[in-house]
Amino acid sequence: MIIMLVLLAAILLVGGWFFTTYNSLVSLKVRVENAWSQIDVQLKRRHDLIPNLVEAVKGYMNYEKDTLERVIKARNQAIDASSIKDKAQAENFLSSTLKSLFAVVERYPDLKANQNVLKLQEELTSTENKISFARQYYNDEAGRFNTQILIVPGNIVAGAVGFTQRDFFQIEDKTEKEVPQVKF
Amino acid sequence: MPFSFIEIEEKKTKIIGFLFVFIIFFYFLTAYLILLVLVNTSLFSSVEDGGVRYFTLPSLQHTLIVFVVASVVGLLHWWASTSDLINKICGLIGAVPIDSKDTYHQYLKNIVEEVSVAIGGRPLEAWVLPSVSMNAFALEDFNGRAVIGVTEGLLTRLSRAQIEAVVGHEAGHIISGDCLSTTVTCALAEIYEEGSTHLASGLNKMRGRSSGVLVLVYMILAVMRFFSSLIRYFISRQREYRADAVSTRLTRDPLSLAEALKLISTNWRGSGAQGEKLQSIFIMNPAYNGLDEKEGLFSDMFSTHPPIKNRIGILLNMAHLDEKTLEENLKNFKRVSPIAEVETKIEESDLGRKWFAFIGQEWQGPFGISELKNMPALTPEDWVRPDGSQGVIHAYEDKALLGLFSKDAGAGDKEKSLCPHCKVSLEEVTYEGAPMLKCNYCQGVFVEEGKVSRILIRQDKQFSEEIARLGKTLISEKQKFAAKQGTDNVWALDCPKCSRKMLRQFFVYSYPVEVDRCAYCGGTWFDKYELEILQYLYENKEVLFKQGLT
């Protein structure tokens, strides 16, 4: 009788522990997914802004057609990318082409004097910042989730229900905090 | 994150609950004290025994009544203070929501949105405090609505990264949960400030009436003053360090925050008359307070902000830099303006140019740019010939003329305001990022209420020699001028916005630029150069007034 009771208590205890751990892991997972959708929103915003910028500067830049074409190409690639790793790579490429576009803009005084171009540039800078903040938030959350499913109580539960580690959204640049800074 | 979400919520509820209990208790104590005085004065004929008075406590029944009354008053106070929290406090300090047409405000909105993404997507509202000072504040109410506000002065003088760090600090207050309690505390204390001001003015009228009432009112007044100072104890200085830490975590840029703090601390941080009462919502105490810069238990208890030196020290430590580098950085610091360069020199060069235009099968002209602008027949495809050159080009090929057409595109069929001098429709333009209406004939501008201060605060404009000369003349000849107060109707201009007569007066007496002001809508009409001169005088006041005196 006593053994039965002890066994029952043990089962209840283990079950309770299992479910609380599982629940906390799930809530972490939801936060990671939420963070990922944030990045997506910002990436889409950037993809929408780029054609406007290209349109605005096109008239001024007769000799820089290939820079513009590269930006457009990078943008289309970024839209097509699907997995996290592909996306990260495509967005990195897009960022670097944008950087060179902004460098070109610097050389055209007419462009710098155009409030419309300046506005678009500010919007893009802001979006770049938002992307990097969203990425930072996503990486923080993903890191927390990954730690939880690796350390001892979590890894048992994660193994049982099949939670896997999330990829980080990384950029190749060593200077993590450096966003392409636009000088007006 | 310093706390988990649940911990923050628990902490919030605890502090709010504590505040609530405290307020009820406080009212009870006050009312009980008053009761005690009343019982022991002759009014309630206390026990007298052969001329000797004894100290008596009020009866239990009275105490209960007092308790109920105190609870009701406490509840009313709570309700009055906490409904519509944010709008009330913003109204008190004079903050306004951002103006979506204003370039600087759009820029602030972007930064606040970025920080909102950084904290995981929680929406934050951006507000602006129209003041030259440099400061920032955060507010939060019970529904989770959060507001981050900065002053115009801060927006104008800090770089993007520095503003981002400051906004991050304010967001730190919001996510670490101390913003709600601070906001509530401020709202609670605010009623006392207001109440004691009202009472004090009421008291003057009551002079000479029954002295008993007077004493009672004085007592209430004193207690209220005491309470509003007491309420600061609830605000710990530690939260500022914590918010600095959150900001660094978000922006990964401790140096910018250190720079921003240094710049704010060396500038005037006041935020208008009322702001000082609500000091705890600001990033830095608006009123300079010697106590803030001290350490120890005493200042820990009485002050709302920690020493600025410590804050900067911690941040520099994070950035692995020393104070010398910071000072060096600040010396070389150059802010990049979000305003297009062309705006800063309002096409002075184009104003002198003339064009001949091929309209109606013949060459006409020469026309100035403003004449061409108001010529409905001119299209981008028309042929023009710049005065002094032989080449004939399309109108759109001339950069100055191209600008005319693109500006026209957005005009639409909106109800248009008319220039009070030339009676032509005014065009919406931005000047130093602030929206205003401009007449392309006479170059006068109409600025709505509250927007002149933005222009005065911002410093993107480079002044031409002519403006400087006019400004200097105005100062040296100041005494000879007298504003024509109450001009006769013939000369009074009609307000472009509400069509009423405007008054001709000095902008203010210390800046003797004559302008036309509409008493009804508060808008100001500046004739050509008047705005620039005013701005020039304002931005160079130290130099000019020194010269003017010698």
Region B1-26 average pLDDT: 71
pLDDT more than 70, % of chain B = 66
The length of chain B is 550
Query: Considering the domain boundaries, does residue A53 fall inside one?
Result: yes
Query: Considering the domain boundaries, does residue A179 fall inside one?
Result: no
Query: Considering the domain boundaries, does residue A184 fall inside one?
Result: no
Q: Which residue of A has its CA nearest to B109?
A: A126
Output phi, psi for B97, to 5 deg. -65, 160
Q: Do B114 and A118 touch (CB under 8 A)?
A: no
- The pLDDT score that the predictor gives to residue B113 is 93
- Chain B environment of A125 (Cβ under 8 Å): 160
- Chain A environment of B119 (Cβ under 8 Å): 137
Region A144-149 average pLDDT: 89
- The pLDDT score that the predictor gives to residue B408 is 42
Is pLDDT above 90 for B439? no
- The pLDDT score that the predictor gives to residue B511 is 73
- The pLDDT score that the predictor gives to residue A109 is 74
Give catalytic residues of B, as residue numbers: 170
DSSP state, residue B502: P
- The pLDDT score that the predictor gives to residue A184 is 47
A122 → closest Cβ in B113, B338, B341: B338
Highest mean pLDDT among A22-36, A80-94, B27-41, B263-277: A22-36
B340/A22: higher pLDDT: A22
- The Cα B296–Cα B536 span in angstroms is 46
**Residue B436: its H or E element:** strand B434-438
Q: Do B120 and A176 touch (CB under 8 A)?
A: no
B237-257 pLDDT, tens digit per residue, is: 778 888 888 898 888 888 889
B341 → closest Cβ in A112, A123, A130: A112
Other CB atoms within 10 Å distance of the CB of residue A9: 10
Whether A42 contacts chain B with CB within 8 A: yes
Q: Do A129 and B336 touch (CB under 8 A)?
A: no
Whether B410 contacts chain A with CB within 8 A: no
Give the pair of three-digit tokens for residue B185.
Answer: 């505390």
- The pLDDT score that the predictor gives to residue B495 is 85
Q: Do A130 and B107 touch (CB under 8 A)?
A: no
Q: Do B118 and A110 touch (CB under 8 A)?
A: no
- Chain B environment of A121 (Cβ under 8 Å): none
- The pLDDT score that the predictor gives to residue B20 is 84
Instruction: Dihedral sign for Cα B507, B513, B517, B523, please.
Output: negative
- Chain B environment of A34 (Cβ under 8 Å): 120-121
Is beta strand B125-129 parallel, antiparallel or unpaired with respect to B146-151? Answer: parallel
Mean pLDDT is lowest, of B29-38, B115-124, B132-141, B520-529, for B29-38
- The residue among B107, B180, B393 whose CA lies nearest residue A123 is B107
Say if CB B299 and CB B283 are below 8 A apart: no
Q: Do A118 and B338 touch (CB under 8 A)?
A: yes
- The pLDDT score that the predictor gives to residue B550 is 39
Instruction: Dihedral sign for Cα B463, B464, B469, B470, please.
Output: negative
Tokens 């709505």 label which residue?
B448
3-state SS of chain A is: CHHHHHHHHHHHHHHHHHHHHHHHHHHHHHHHHHHHHHHHHHHHHHHHHHHHHHHHHHCCCCCCHHHHHHHHHHHHHHHHCCCHHHHHHHHHHHHHHHHHHHHHHHHCHHHHCCHHHHHHHHHHHHHHHHHHHHHHHHHHHHHHHHHHHHCHHHHHHHHHHCCCCCCCCCCCCCCCCCCCCCCC
- The pLDDT score that the predictor gives to residue B163 is 93
pLDDT band at B110, cuts 50/70/90? very high
- The Cα B182–Cα B180 span in angstroms is 5
- The Cα A87–Cα B228 span in angstroms is 55
A91-104 pLDDT, tens digit per residue, is: 888 888 888 888 88
Whether B117 contacts chain A with CB within 8 A: yes
Q: Do A115 and B430 touch (CB under 8 A)?
A: yes
- The Cα B397–Cα B378 span in angstroms is 14
Give the pair of three-digit tokens for residue B192.
Answer: 């006392």
Whether B115 contacts chain A with CB within 8 A: yes
Is pLDDT above 90 for B166? yes
A28/B406: higher pLDDT: A28
3-class state of residue A73 by DSSP? helix
Query: Considering the domain boundaries, does residue A132 fall inside one?
Result: yes
Whether B281 contacts chain A with CB within 8 A: no
For all residues of chain A together, what is the average pLDDT? 83
Indicate left, alpha or beta for B411 from its phi (over 0: left) and psi (-120 to 50: alpha): alpha
Whether B111 contacts chain A with CB within 8 A: yes
What pTM was computed for the model?
0.75
Tokens 């980080």 label which residue?
A168
Rg (chain A; Cα; Å): 24
Q: Where are the beta strands (DSSP E) in B46-101?
A: 48-49, 52-53, 96-97
Q: Cα distance from A112 to chain B (closest Cα, Å)?
A: 6
- The Cα B395–Cα B373 span in angstroms is 12
3-class state of residue B548 by DSSP? helix
Tell me which of B108, B114, B343, B398 to substitute to probe the interface with A (most A C-beta atoms closer than 10 Å): B114
Query: Considering the domain boundaries, does residue A10 fall inside one?
Result: no
- The pLDDT score that the predictor gives to residue B335 is 74
B202-241 pLDDT, tens digit per residue, is: 666 655 555 666 667 667 767 766 766 666 666 667 788 8
Whether A38 contacts chain B with CB within 8 A: yes
- The pLDDT score that the predictor gives to residue B343 is 47
Query: Considering the domain boundaries, does residue A9 fall inside one?
Result: no
Other CB atoms within 10 Å distance of the CB of residue B59: 11
Output phi, psi for A45, to 5 deg. -60, -40
Burial class (CB in 10 A: 0-12, 13-18, 19+), B293: middle
Query: Considering the domain boundaries, does residue A128 fall inside one?
Result: yes
pLDDT band at B60, cuts 50/70/90? confident
Cis peptide before B366 (omega within 30 of 0): yes
Tokens 């109920």 label which residue?
B68
- The residue among B446, B440, B444 whose CA lies nearest residue B417 is B446
- The Cα B369–Cα A135 span in angstroms is 49
Query: Considering the domain boundaries, does residue A173 fall inside one?
Result: no
Q: Do A35 and B120 touch (CB under 8 A)?
A: yes
Region A15-31 average pLDDT: 89
Other CB atoms within 10 Å distance of the CB of residue B390: 6
- The residue among B272, B259, B336 whose CA lies nearest residue B132 is B272
Output phi, psi for B540, to 5 deg. -115, 30
- Chain A environment of B338 (Cβ under 8 Å): 118, 122, 184
Q: Do B117 and A137 touch (CB under 8 A)?
A: yes
- Chain B environment of A177 (Cβ under 8 Å): 251-253
- The residue among B153, B157, B183 whose CA lies nearest residue B170 is B183
Q: CATH number of the domain that A69 lies in? A: 1.20.1440.20
DSSP state, residue A182: P
Show the domain range for A151: 18-161
B321 contacts: CB under 8 Å, gap ≥ 6: B255
Say if CB B303 and CB B297 are below 8 A apart: no
Paired residues of B128 in beta bridges: B96, B150
Q: Do A137 and B114 touch (CB under 8 A)?
A: no
- The pLDDT score that the predictor gives to residue A98 is 86
Whether A22 contacts chain B with CB within 8 A: no
- The Cα A102–Cα B48 span in angstroms is 92
A113 → closest Cβ in B111, B114, B342: B342
Say if CB B257 and CB B315 are below 8 A apart: yes
- The pLDDT score that the predictor gives to residue B498 is 81
Q: Do B118 and A34 touch (CB under 8 A)?
A: no
Give the pair of three-digit tokens for residue A81.
Answer: 């990318």
Q: Cα distance from A114 to chain B (closest Cα, Å)?
A: 6
Q: How far is CA B324 from CA B163, B166, B248, B316, B321, in A?
A: 22, 22, 20, 10, 8
B341 → closest Cβ in A113, A130, A176: A113
- The residue among A178, A47, A72 whose CA lies nearest residue A123 is A47
Whether B167 contacts chain A with CB within 8 A: no
Q: Name the percent of chain A in helix, strand, coil, to the closest 5.
A: 80, 0, 20
B117 → closest Cβ in A112, A125, A134: A134
- The residue among B198, B208, B191, B199 whose CA lies nearest residue B74 is B191
- Chain A environment of B103 (Cβ under 8 Å): 115, 119
Give the pair of three-digit tokens for residue B31.
Answer: 């009312």
Q: Cα distance from B161 to chain A (closest Cα, Å)?
A: 10
For all residues of chain B together, what is the average pLDDT? 75
- The Cα A117–Cα A139 span in angstroms is 32
- The residue among B499, B356, B474 whose CA lies nearest residue B415 is B499
Q: Do B110 and A122 touch (CB under 8 A)?
A: yes
Overall domain count for chain A = 1
Q: Do A177 and B252 touch (CB under 8 A)?
A: yes
Output phi, psi for B376, to 5 deg. -65, -25
Is pLDDT above 80 for B422? no
